[in-house]
Amino acid sequence: MRAARPLHLVLLLALLLSACGGDLPAETTGTVPLPPDATAQTGAPASTDSAAPITVYFSDPNASGNRGGPDADLAAAIDAARLTVDVAIYDLNLWSIRDALLDAHRRGVQVRMATESDNRDRAEFNELADAGIPILGDRREGLMHHKFVVIDGFQVWTGSMNFTLGSAYHGNNNLLRIDSTRLAENYTHEFEEMFTDDLFGDASARGDTPNPTVTLDGVLVENYFSPDDGVEQHIVDLINNAEESVYFMTFSFTSNAIGAALLLAQQRGVEVAGVMETTQVDNSGSEYESLRDAGIDVRLDGIPGDMHHKVFIIDGSVVVTGSYNYSRAAEETNDENVLIIYSAGIAELYMQELVDVMLAAGD
């Protein structure tokens, strides 16, 4: 496997090219090929193959308006739904998504929603409920923290992005669209546990995800749910097996086990670096100080909104992403989902986002 370019060199090159008005050249590393039609988009989409099995979107925290962000393609996908739309979302105030769900319901598509009860009284949820769309809150102390949509049993949208103005237009977030009936089966299974069985959080911790591994055009994707599937240990194992680099972008990071794995990785010569959300590092149990004290390049984000990613990039060929913050609550009590994607091409897309986030963060 060709060695990944060290992050400090990538950042230096990005700074030099920025000063010269140039762009950072893309580089793909690792042994797992990117599906030829996978794409990354920020804001309004460029030309793309609508049949792409994996599409990655990144929000633009410097967006000048509240239109044309990652929610635009999600709304269009809901507009194209023919049979079913299942939504598990922590929070929602985007009118684009509200209107798309209302339109789908009016034309006879079955629309169902599960949400976090703390946010259930938002005006947008009430408008959806008043139109006859069933919405179930979790009604418990832990969080229904998912951010996913399943459309017509074959298309999954998921990531770190809540369906809010803050997430889509003023923070750092990622959203993925994946076309796969097997992944859709996983997310539908999780949705039915909540919506039909009324089992949230540790009440649903059965560890029975139908398809924990899926291959899409030669790319291996692992899919786990929390607290069902022991997500933390899967991430620790990935870090323990890292050979060259572990980079991260984390909103909340209080997991002692993952923090310890990063320290061990650095001690054996793996390059470790990342960015954390500024408002979270003073919280009880934050790993920020221990990582900084060990000499790891950990930066505080540099945008007014939230740096809301929950991402690890390992050896330039593996990406961990989803709704799962690296915390005890995410591991033990919240409803969460995680994707582990073994693709150097997908990893390169997230590396480009990491460089942008780190440059905004400064030293």
User: Residues 162-195, buried b or exposed e (16+ Cβ, 10 A)?
Assistant: bbbbbbbbbbbbbbbbbbbebbbbbbbbbbebbb
Token representation of residue 250:
């984390």
> 93 phi and psi, to 5 degrees?
-145, 10
In 3-state terms, what secondary structure has residue 168? helix
Q: How many CB atoms lie within 10 A of CB 13?
A: 15
Closest residue by Cα to residue 55 from 151, 176, 162, 216 = 176
Closest residue by Cα to residue 57 from 181, 165, 160 = 160
Annotated catalytic residue: which of 315, 335, 356, 363?
315
Q: What distances in angstroms separate CA 139 from CA 89, 144, 194, one per listed residue?
A: 14, 9, 11
Cβ proximity of 348 and 28 under 8 Å: yes
Annotated catalytic residue: which of 310, 335, 356, 363?
310
217 in catalytic set: no
Distance separating alpha carbons of residues 309 and 190, to the nearest angstrom: 22
Distance separating alpha carbons of residues 334 and 265, to the nearest angstrom: 28
Token representation of residue 157:
């949208």
Any bridge partners for residue 179, and if so which? 155
Annotated catalytic residue: which of 91, 308, 309, 335?
308
For 123-166, what is the HEC assignment? HHHHHHHHCCCCEEECCCCCCECCEEEEECCCEEEEECCCECHH
Closest residue by Cα to residue 166 from 306, 349, 3 = 306
Distance separating alpha carbons of residues 124 and 101, to the nearest angstrom: 11
Which amino acid is located at 66 in the chain? N
Token representation of residue 313:
């990039």
- Give the position of tokens 């967006």: 63
308 in catalytic set: yes
- Give the position of tokens 């979302």: 89
Active site amino acids: 308, 310, 315
